[in-house]
Structure 1
Amino acid sequence: MSCTKKKRRLAVLRAKLEALLTDQESGRVRLCFGSRRLFRKQFSREENGYADHAAWKKDWQAERSSQFFVLGSKDEASGNQSCQAAVAPDGSLRLRLRLPNGWGSTSKHLVLEGVRLAYGQEEILQALSAGRVVIGATKTGKLFRKREGAAVSYRFVRDRKGWRVFASVEAQPVALVTRRLAGAIGVDSNPDYLALAETDRFGNLVGSRRIGLHLSMGRARSK
């Protein structure tokens, strides 16, 4: 890349950064449901394969309706008011999604059976089982019941294959534990390799290992 292209790229990035900082200071939030890229295609329809504005608008409305998000709350049953999950006997999830008013359906809820998550299934199950009802007291001494648990949020996304659902929970902090009785591991960083050594609690060598980084090969290719 020439020096002129680098300067041009740097100027573009600085302009974007300045615009973002200006929006942050003014509290302005820029959102475009359907993507700005597709929105701009209406101004050059022929170049993007659209015969008329109606054809573009059809794709635009489909893209804007391709996903929705259901925010979770730790104060609600199953961690969510509008989408509640229950564990089936086979380990899958049963989602009960509340439908908005004016949907045109005779039922207020949509039930999805046999939902399985490719990643994070155990974390979601733990979050669902963490819910409980506790007894609290007001300043005047009046008792009340409230629900505590983990918030579970869901994102529904439609693609060419159909609808997919993504579930998310707040990551729990992991306690760091270190014990001198367990020994120690030392790492030595070198230009082209890492050297590792393990000792027991008395300082005796248990084992060592060397991991090559192959940096010289990367340099040769970059040249």
Structure 2
Amino acid sequence: LRQIFIFVCRCLDKRLWARIDLSIKRTVTPQALTGIIKRQPVTLDLSWTNISKKQLNWLIGRLPGLKDLMLSGCSWSSISALCSTGCPLLRSLDLRNAYGVKDAQIRELVIPPGKQKSRLRLQVMQCLRLAGLDISDPTLRLVIRHMPHLTKLDLSHCNSLTDHSINLLTAVGSSTRNTLTELNLGGCSKLTDACLKYLRRLSCISLLDLRGCKGVARKACEAFISELSVNTLYYS
């Protein structure tokens, strides 16, 4: 009886549904969507589901308090729902290994065509995960310009990024130079030791991941650690 009572309370109390994870469910049913709306989560994980653009558009328009959205492994055909004016002010967005997301698609998310004011919804972004995407400098320019509060950025396995990309990310006047505390560049195959001189500019960095960056030597990483107050540096 006690277990039944706890279960009923959990169903009724929205505070116990601050995070909803449907990532283990391949198919998102209408019943699941209705349940999400009733519980009004702050964090929603739809990674690797087959949610459609229509479903996602319907969903985000009814979740004004949503702050964290995970769409890892989803396709651009559904992710593009975020271009709508009804998208809530997100503080974190996870698009790791999303299908069909490149520089042009990121631009649509940040600055939807004909909807210039919509860019404001990304100005509170604090955490952005773009691992495994075919993106390059144009995306970094958008991040720098339109996400002034970004503290965590995952660019791991973005193999089009170069040392010049890191120079851009840490240049004088770029917001990310002074806000980034965590940066994941693991598996970025085109990076070399030269990127370290640019990474030294990051004034608030506490965690840096360079694992799998074959062009960055171990000795160079060790020298980098000794010179800076980075709390955690992963390298191989």
* Structure 1 length-normalised TM: 0.22
Structure with the bigger percentage of helix? 2
The structure with more strand, counted as a fraction of residues = 1
TM-score (norm 2): 0.21
